Each structure stands twice: as C-alpha cells, then as structure tokens.
Structure 1
Amino acid sequence: MKKVYIIHENSEWTQHLTNRLDEIGVPYEEWHLDKGRLDLSKEPPEGVFYNRMSASSHTRGHRFAPEFTAQVLSWLEGHGRAVLNGTRALQLEVSKVLQYLELNKFGIKTPRTIAAVGKEQILEAATEFMDTPFITKHNRAGKGLGVQLFQTYDGLKSYVDSPMFEEPIDGITLIQEYIQAPESYITRCEFVGGKFVYAVKVDTSEGFQLCPADACHIGDLFCPVGEEKVEKPKFEIIDSFSDPIIQKYEQVLASNQIQVAGIEFIRNAAGDIYTYDINTNTNYNSDAEAKAQKFGMLELAKFLNSQL
C-alpha cells in the first residue's frame, strides 16, 4: 500500500502533523533521519515523500541529519519518486545566503547582508554598518540562532572576542542591516501546496523567538524590535491578509519546487517590506489557529492526501 513518508528529525514537531493524518485516515510512515543506512542498490518504496528536515537539527544533537537527508532526497528523486520539499528546499533551508539570493531574483527586498567566515572578517564586515545599528545571525540557523542586535562596532568586537561568541555550525556569520519597525511585530506567511493559507502577526517585543511550534522554547535573549511590552498573544492570525508580496512569494516557491513553507517579513517606518527568512520546516501555533479557526497542519494533511 502506498503511503506518505515523513522525513524529519524532530518527533515533537511532527506529532501535530501525524495527529491530523490519523484524523483523516491517511497512511503514513516516519523516517527519522538523525541516523540510518541508505542502500544505493535498492529502490525506494512507492508513495509520497515529504521532507521536514530542519536547519536547527544540530541543536537537538542531530548534527548530520541534513547532510544525510540530502543524500536520501537525491536517491528518491533519482528514482522518480514524488518528493515534496525536496533537494532544492533543503538547500534553502540550511542557507540564508541562498534564500536571499533567490528572493532578490524575484525583486523581493531583503536586508543588506554580508556573509563572513572568521572573526576578523566578521569585524571587517561590520565596518560597513558603522553609522547604523546592525544584527548578526547564523547562515544555517532556525530558532533565531545567533541573532543579536549591536548598536556599535565596539559592541560587536567585545562579543566576538569574548567566550560568549557563538560559532555557526557552518562557520558562516551574517552581518545584516537592522530594519527598525514602527511597531514590535513581524509577519509570517504560511503556504501549503505552494499557495497562501494565512498570515500570522508575531509579537517581537520580547525578542525574536519566532518558532510557532508549541514545543519550541528558547531561553536566550534575541534581537528586539521595540521597547513596548503589552499583554497580548505572541501569535495572532491576521484576518483577510492581502498584499502583492504574496504573489511574489508563490513565484519563489514554485521556482524552487517548494510546496510547504513559512516566509517572514518586517515593515520599516515607510511601509517597505523586507523579507528575511524562508522556513521550509514550518510549524503552526495552536492557540492562534483555534482562535481564527484556521488549521495549517490540517491543510497540510489534506494536501498530502491529495498528492497520495
């Protein structure tokens, strides 16, 4: 019997999907690829393969899961299997540099960014932002890894020279212009089957811990976008969100064979949109969805069923 094969490395994030697959009666099997074997002499089973590999896998002790997944996806694609969020999606998942280059192809603004390897090169890159605040982040990230706000070059130098400096897993640190938003929130647009599902407003007044998954928790401080602190939901689905940027996002996803993604942007004081993340291992917030009666994992389960 054909089934849906879910490729991942985090059972906590995947359970929300399997619950929905059970709900509508879709047969599935999980492939947890933090370790495993791949026999190149054998053919893959028949079915639909959905990749949910995460760029932050190394933070859960699964250092080489993306690398192994890349080989498995190539094997599946080489045998002509139906793969959703395949090789190209994984390439973008683990590299913000590739994300920005792809977004720029479609005329989508991204914050000015310099990629640097080595502490000296990080500091040299920061000299390009001497007159304005800037942030650092990891190229292969997820969960807001390495995101910090610096007001001055000296502040960055103190950090880079200290034991607190966090080396990116791929060695690449991004130095990026800081987009000052008039209000302390960003917008995350969710897509299933390459089509827009909904947009969610994410409160960033306490920092950029943006993972919508209920299981996600990070204790570190991240880059704030404002000082105001008001009791309000961290995630709130926007009713009837509409903007021309959605069409461009859908074009980017189609061009890169990405069926499922969350894309995040921020607006500056002039109202200009700057896009800074494509997350191909997207999660959804249950509280926000319950309030809006829109359910991303249910839409995803239905889409997987239609592909099967």
Structure 2
Amino acid sequence: MKKIYIIHENKEWTAPLIKELEALGLPYEDWFLNEGVLDLSQTPPEGVFYNRMSASSHTRGHRFAPEYTASVLAWLEAHNRKVINTSNALKLEISKVAQYASLNAHGIKTPRTVAAIGKEQIIEAAKSFKGSFITKHNRAGKGLGVQLFHSIESLKEYVYGDNFEISIDGITLIQQYIKAPTPHITRCEFIGGKFVYAVQVNTSEGFQLCPADVCQIGDAFCPVGESETSKFKIIDGFEDPIIEKYSKFLNTNGINIAGIEFITDEDGTIYTYDVNTNTNYNKDAEAKGKISGMGTIAKYLGNELILIK
C-alpha cells in the first residue's frame, strides 16, 4: 500500500504533523534517519516521501543524519519516487552559502556575507566590513552561533576566547549587520510552492527563533508557545513583490515546503537571510490567525498521494 513517508530526526517536531495525518485518515510511516542501513539493490516502496531533515540535527546528537538522508534521497530520486523537498532542498538546508548563492541568482537580495575557515581568516574577513557585523554558522538552524559585534577587538576576544563556537562543518560566516527600525523579522511560509502566510517575529530577546512550541523547553531565546509573551504574530493580508521571487526560487530548487525569513532596514530594503526547509509553526499564532500550517501540509501530502499511480 502506498503511504506518506516522513523523513526526519526529531519526533517532537514531527508529532503535530502526524496528528493531522491521523485526523485525515491518511496512511503514513515514520522514517527516523539518525542511523540505519540502505541497501541500494532494493527498490523503494511506493508513496510520497516528505523530507524534514534539519540542519540543527547535530545539536540533538544526530551528527550524520543529514548525510544519511542525502543518501536515502538519492536512492529515492533514482527510482523516480515523489520526494517533497528534494536532495537539492537538503543541500540548501545544511549550507547557508548554498542558500545565499541561489537566492542571489534569483535576484533576491541577501546581506553581504563572507565565508571563512580558521580563526585568523575569520578576523581578516571581518576587517572588510564597515560598521557592525554578525557571525553565524554555515550549517546551523535555530540561529546557532549568531553573534553581533561592533568592533574587530570584540570579535578577537570571542574567537580566541573560551566561548567560541565553531560550526559543525567548520565554516563561519561573517555577515553585514542589518539595522531594522523595529526589532522584528518576517517569516514567509510556503506549502506546495504556494504562499500561505507571513508571520512577524519579535527579535528583542535573542536570535534563536524556532517557531515550534517544544523549542521553548530549556531555551530562553525561543520564546514561543501559548503564553501572552509569544513573539510570533501572523500578519493579516501580507503582500509584497518578494513573494513571487520566493516562489520561483523554491520551484527552481525543488523545495515544496519552506519558511523564508527576511529583515527590512531603515530605508525599507528587504534582505533575505534564511531558508528553512524543515519549517515549523507556532500554535498560538496560528490559533489567533485561524490557520494551521501542519494541517495544510497534511492535506497537501494527501493530495500528492492520490496522484501516485
């Protein structure tokens, strides 16, 4: 029997989707790809394969889950299986350098970014920036490794100090700091390649901005959930020409489901800085906006399953 297969490494993030699939009576199977055995002589089962692998898997002890998933996706695609968020989507999920290169190729403005490997190289790269700048991990998720600096001296103290945190792939990004008129960013959600809604996120308390309700556990910089201090708010009737550019970018890269984040500077210029192909949703914000991201995904996957001959 054909099914919906969920490829992931975090059961907490997948639970809301499974709840929606079960409510619709859709057949599914959970593929937890932290480790496993892949026999290339075997033929994959029939169905729809939804890739939810995360760039931050290593923070949960699943260091090689993305690499294993890349192998599984290559196997599925070689057999022409329907993959939601293809191997190319995974490539962009685990590399911001790849993200920015593709965004720029689609005429989407990103903050000036320099990639560096090595502590001395990080310092030298930062010297080419005027004014404040930030550092971040190339393979991250949840805003891992994001630090704001106003001088080279403060960067040196961090890089050569005990608190320096290196990206799991060894690549540190030095990026232009974009000053917004208010402490907010905007996240645009797409399902089936179509724009669903935009959410405003308050960044005043930190950079780690995972919308999933479970992220608030033990994470002071992910202030989400059902409390009155929730930092996520769905924007009513959001419209902007950037949406069309995002849609074309996603379609070209084989990304069916994603959240794309941007920040607007004091002159009104939009800078896109993150593409999350393992997007999560904030329950409280969705309840107020009367919309369900996971519910919409479940229906989309169900429709794709029907199309499988």
TM-score (norm 2): 0.95
Q: In structure 2, how many angstroms separate the alpha carbons of the residues matched to 1:147 and 1:204?
A: 12
Q: CA deviation at 1:142?
A: 0.1
Offset of 1:282 from its aligned partner?
0.3
1:240 corresponds to which of 237, 242, 259: 237
CA RMSD in angstroms comes to 1.2
Amino acid at match of 1:40: L
Kindly indicate whether residue 180 of structure 2 is the aligned counterpart of residue 200 of structure 1. Answer: no
How far off is 1:219 after superposition? 3.8
Match of 2:225 in 1: none
- Tell me the SS of whatever aligns to 1:215: helix
Amino acid at match of 1:184: P
Identity %: 66
Output the CA distance in 2 between the equivalents of 1:233 and 1:139: 28
Distance 1:25 1:285, change over 3 A: same
Alpha carbons of structure 1 residues 178 and 220: separation in structure 2 relative to 1, 3 Å? farther
Distance in 1, matches of 2:29 and 2:117, equals 39
**Maintained 8 Å contact 2:180/2:263:** yes
1:149 maps to which residue?
148
Q: Which amino acid aligns with 2:3?
A: K
Q: Counterparts of 1:122-141 in structure 2 under 5 Å?
A: 122-129=122-129, 131-141=130-140
Q: What is the aligned partner in structure 1 of residue 37 from structure 2?
A: 37
Q: Report SS of the residue matched to 2:214.
A: coil
Q: How many residues align?
A: 299
Gaps of 5+ in 1: 223-230
Q: Deviations over 1:140-199 (max 9, x none)?
A: 000111000001000000000011110110000000000000001000000000000000
Matching of residues 38-187 of structure 1 within 5 Å:
38-129=38-129, 131-187=130-186
> Is structure 2 residue 266 aligned with structure 1 residue 264?
no
What amino acid sits opposite 1:294 in the alignment? I
Is contact 2:209–2:221 with CA below 8 Å preserved after alignment?
A: no
Query: Per-residue deviation at 1:233?
Result: 3.2
* Preserved CA contact (<8 Å) 2:189 2:195: yes
Whole-angstrom distance in 2 between the partners of 1:19 and 1:221? 27
Alignment of 1:14-33 (within 5 A): 14-33=14-33
Q: Take 1:107 and 1:83, find their aligned partners in 2: how far apart are those partners?
A: 27
Distance 1:207 1:183 in 2: 14
Give SS of 1:128's match: coil
Provide the C-alpha distance between the structure 2 equivalents of 1:169 and 1:306, rounded to a whole number of angstroms.
37
Q: Which amino acid aligns with 1:143?
A: K
Distance in 2, matches of 1:36 and 1:78, equals 19
Contact 2:187-2:259 at 8 Å conserved across structures: yes
CA distance in 2, matches of 1:254, 1:306: 18
1:232 positional shift: 4.8
**Shift >2 Å, 4+ stretches:** 217-222
Is 2:180–2:265's contact at 8 Å kept on the other side of the alignment?
yes
For 1:285-300, list aligned pairs within 5 A: 285-300=282-297
Distance 1:220 1:234, change over 3 A: closer
1:210 maps to amino acid: L
Tell me, yes or no, if the aligned pair for 2:144 and 2:208 is still in contact at 8 Å.
no
Offset at residue 208 of structure 1 (A): 1.2
Amino acid at match of 1:305: G
